[in-house]
Amino acid sequence: MRAGNAGSAGAATRNPVPAAPRAAARFDLPESDAFTRPYWDAAAEGRLLLRRCRAEGCGAAHHYPREFCPYCWSENVGWETATGRATLYTWSVVHRNDLPPFGDRVPYTAAVVDLAEGPRMMTEITDCPESELRIGMPLVVHFRSAGATGAVDGSGFAFPVFRPA
């Protein structure tokens, strides 16, 4: 007789337990934490938040949210509701993306916009054919839901995207 649990391998093959179905990995959902939660909560309400430096002599707005000012390094920064207005800086139409769920969305327009408050932001342009896109065109924010909206596990998010004003 061999040492060890020789019988367990045979039992597993005689009575296989079906594996639970695995959901496809999502590459479009952020990880919300205590710092970013105000941003995602505001987005769910249809508001775009920025961070603004409150240090004397600076006052710069920035995006993506950080806990410090990227211009003067002050930690005296706070949340501010943006106007939601922007202009198109550049764009690229994506025709192929193999990562879930982007493959179901192609083609889509990835873009960088200049927010009215100053910062540049990566986003997506919606409701506009590529032939009508122009550098400097005025845009306005709206929000797209993704994930399980209202899910208690926090998997539902609203994302700021832009369309022509």
Q: How far apart are CA 99 and CA 156, in angstroms?
A: 19
Neighbours of 106 (CB within 10 A): 12
pLDDT value at residue 157? 82
d(CA 81, CA 12): 57
The amino acid sitting at 111 is A
The sign of the CA dihedral 125, 127, 131, 136 is negative
**Structure-block tokens of residue 48:** 């775009």
**Each residue of 108-154: pLDDT tens digit?**
999 999 999 999 999 999 999 999 999 999 999 999 987 654 444 44
How much is the pTM?
0.76
